[in-house]
Amino acid sequence: MMSGLLVLMMLFGGSGDTQQLFGKITSIAVLLTLPAYFYSALALLKRYGFRSKAAWLKVTASLGACLFCMVAFAGATKLALAGAMMVMLGAFIFFAAKSGPSAKTKMPLSRAE
């Protein structure tokens, strides 16, 4: 996915400066790693909850991780954020289509059937 994004940015980018292009691609790559950290932190919060006194350190670290991810997304440039969202949406559509229901499976229209 990143290679495809790099090729698109090279072909349709206005400037030919390789250093700026590398900086944009690196920013997008960093933004692509953040959702995994965010979802892991949410999974920890779901597992331990806010009321678990034994896991206060894990809950605090999870809240800090969620806050870090939100601040990183908020501070991203428009180009990097748009590129990361396009890649994430493309990956989601690809995997949703790949793991969707097969043509052999008949889904009932209602519960009465």
The answer as to whether 41 is a domain residue is: yes
The answer as to whether 62 is a domain residue is: yes
The answer as to whether 39 is a domain residue is: yes
pLDDT value for 104: 54
Is-above-0.85 flag for pTM? Answer: no
pLDDT, one tens digit for every residue, the chain (113 residues): 667 766 776 676 666 677 777 777 778 778 888 888 888 888 888 888 777 777 888 888 888 998 998 898 888 888 778 878 888 888 878 878 877 665 555 555 665 54
| DSSP assignments along 10-50, one per residue | HHH-S---HHHHHHHHHHHHHHHHHHHHHHHHHHHHHHH-S
Query: What is the DSSP code (8-state) at residue 101?
Result: -
The answer as to whether 97 is a domain residue is: no
The answer as to whether 108 is a domain residue is: no
The answer as to whether 27 is a domain residue is: no
pLDDT value for 1: 61
Cα torsion angle, 5, 8, 12, 16, sign: positive
Indicate the number of domains in the chain: 1
The answer as to whether 48 is a domain residue is: yes
Q: Which range marks the domain in which residue 57 is found? A: 34-92
Dist. CA 86–CA 1, nearest whole Å: 10
